């Protein structure tokens, strides 16, 4: 291997690692706030990519119908909850709450569905197409939390893991129904090529790395400076303590799932021009982000991001030396990390109480 090949592999590894870093951060965020190991994270990657591909090919993105269906189910849950908790003193408040919920869970998804159904976005600028795809996919995050996880918020981590597996299989099946078994690619954000000596750097790789770096920086400032970000951090540190000081853990969970869905869908949009994405292809991508999150112990954001970057580089160089075993090599990284953490950390029964 000469320097030029090593540099090309490093470029590919850093590009992939930037995507895995975003997914690792999303997984750490969701787990630290809700104790959910969010296995369906990869489905948001696939939905974001395939929704954009459908928009660019002039087809109706069926994910908009799924969004509307999720909204109607969430609205039905809100109505049932309000009817159960209604009292004479709170009838007015319940009416306002239902009206607000209807606007957010029914009217907004219906408006998105009508826009995607009746407007040909194929000729829109790329940024507008990406925005439409994100608007379709991102609201599914808090809706899935309402439907699947919120009723079990106080359950054990094992129960939440089982639910995650079920949600993953359900979304994978829905993805097959909506998008079919064929893979898709989207238009590249940049076709530019930059030469540095004997090495060529693609503009698409620079876009992926730049967007990932900006988003990670934005998340840092969000958690450090904003009130909602500090509330998420407080919930992650001590869920019971956050409840005692008035922080709504349910709202924190919805916000965490919203951010995770946004990062997943954005990752799908970023990688779609570089690789063919299938309805079930997001799972493997999300699993590599999970390896990075495991390196960070599902707790540390910087270590998770560094671990995800390591996964990207390991995958890239493994594809050169032993392409048939690159997935095995990447996932084998979990074993020494888990062994080291099991030997160096003390057992905690906090989740079993």
Question: Does residue 23 form part of some domain?
Answer: yes
pLDDT reported for residue 96: 79
Residue 80 lies in a domain: no
Domain-located, residue 101: no
Q: How wide is the angle at C-alpha 170 spanned by C-alphas 169 and 175, nearest 5°? A: 95
Helix (H) or strand (E) holding 7: helix 3-34
Instruction: Supply the pLDDT for residue 89.
Output: 52
* pLDDT, position 310: 87
Q: Is 196 a member of any domain?
A: yes
The range of the structural domain enclosing residue 235 comes to: 3-58+120-345
Within a 10 A sphere around the Cβ of 246, how many other Cβ atoms?
A: 7
Low-confidence stretches of the chain (pLDDT beneath 70): 1-2, 86-93, 197-198, 345-353
Determine contact, residues 285/267, Cβ cutoff 8 Å: yes
- As a whole number of angstroms, the distance between CA 183 and CA 169 comes to 19
Tell me whether residue 138 is in a domain: yes
Distance (Å) of CA 280 to CA 5, 51, 94, 178: 31, 14, 41, 12
User: Which tens digit of pLDDT belongs to each residue from 264-309?
Assistant: 999 999 999 888 889 988 888 888 888 888 877 777 778 888 888 8
Q: Flag whether 98 is in a domain.
A: no
Phi/psi zone of residue 15: left (φ > 0), alpha (ψ -120 to 50 degrees), beta? alpha
- Does residue 88 lie in a domain region? no
Name the domain count of the chain: 1
pTM (two decimals): 0.88
Phi-psi region of 345 (alpha: psi -120 to 50; beta: other; left: phi over 0): beta
User: What percent of the chain is modeled with pLDDT above 70?
Assistant: 93
142, part of any domain:
yes
pLDDT, one tens digit per residue, over 132-156 is 999 999 999 999 999 999 888 888 8
Rg over CA atoms, the chain: 21
What is the number of other CB atoms lying within 10 angstroms of the CB of residue 206? 16
CATH for 31? 1.10.3470
């Amino acid at each position: 291997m000469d320097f030029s090949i090593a540099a090309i592999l490093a470029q590919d590894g850093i590009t992939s690692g930037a995507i895995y870093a975003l997914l690792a951060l999303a997984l750490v965020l969701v787990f630290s706030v809700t104790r959910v190991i969010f296995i369906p994270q990869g489905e948001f990657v696939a939905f974001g990519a395939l929704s954009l591909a459908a928009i660019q090919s002039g087809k109706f993105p069926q994910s908009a119908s799924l969004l509307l269906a999720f909204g109607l189910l969430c609205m039905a849950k809100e109505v049932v909850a309000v009817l159960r908790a209604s009292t004479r003193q709170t009838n007015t408040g319940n009416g306002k709450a239902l009206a607000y919920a209807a606007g957010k869970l029914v009217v907004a998804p219906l408006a998105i569905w009508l826009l995607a159904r009746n407007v040909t976005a194929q000729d829109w600028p790329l940024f507008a197409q990406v925005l439409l795809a994100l608007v379709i996919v991102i609201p599914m995050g808090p809706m899935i939390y309402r439907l699947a996880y919120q009723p079990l918020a106080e359950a054990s981590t094992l129960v939440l893991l089982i639910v995650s597996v079920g949600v993953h299989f359900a979304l994978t099946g829905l993805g097959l129904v909506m998008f079919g078994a064929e893979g898709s690619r989207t238009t590249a954000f940049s076709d530019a090529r930059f030469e540095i000596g004997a090495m060529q750097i693609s503009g698409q790789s620079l876009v992926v790395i730049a967007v990932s770096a900006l988003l990670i920086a934005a998340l840092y400032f969000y958690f450090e400076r904003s009130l909602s970000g500090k509330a998420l951090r407080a919930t992650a540190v001590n869920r019971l303590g956050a409840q005692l000081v008035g922080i709504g853990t349910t709202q924190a969970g919805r916000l965490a799932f919203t951010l995770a869905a946004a990062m997943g869908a954005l990752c799908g949009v970023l990688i779609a021009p570089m690789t063919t994405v299938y309805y079930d292809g997001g799972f493997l991508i999300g699993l590599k982000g999970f390896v990075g999150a495991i390196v960070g112990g599902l707790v540390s954001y910087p270590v998770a991001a560094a671990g995800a970057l390591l996964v990207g580089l390991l995958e890239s160089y493994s594809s050169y030396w032993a392409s048939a075993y690159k997935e095995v090599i990447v996932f084998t990284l979990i074993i020494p990390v888990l062994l080291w953490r099991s030997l160096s950390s003390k057992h905690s029964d906090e989740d079993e109480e």
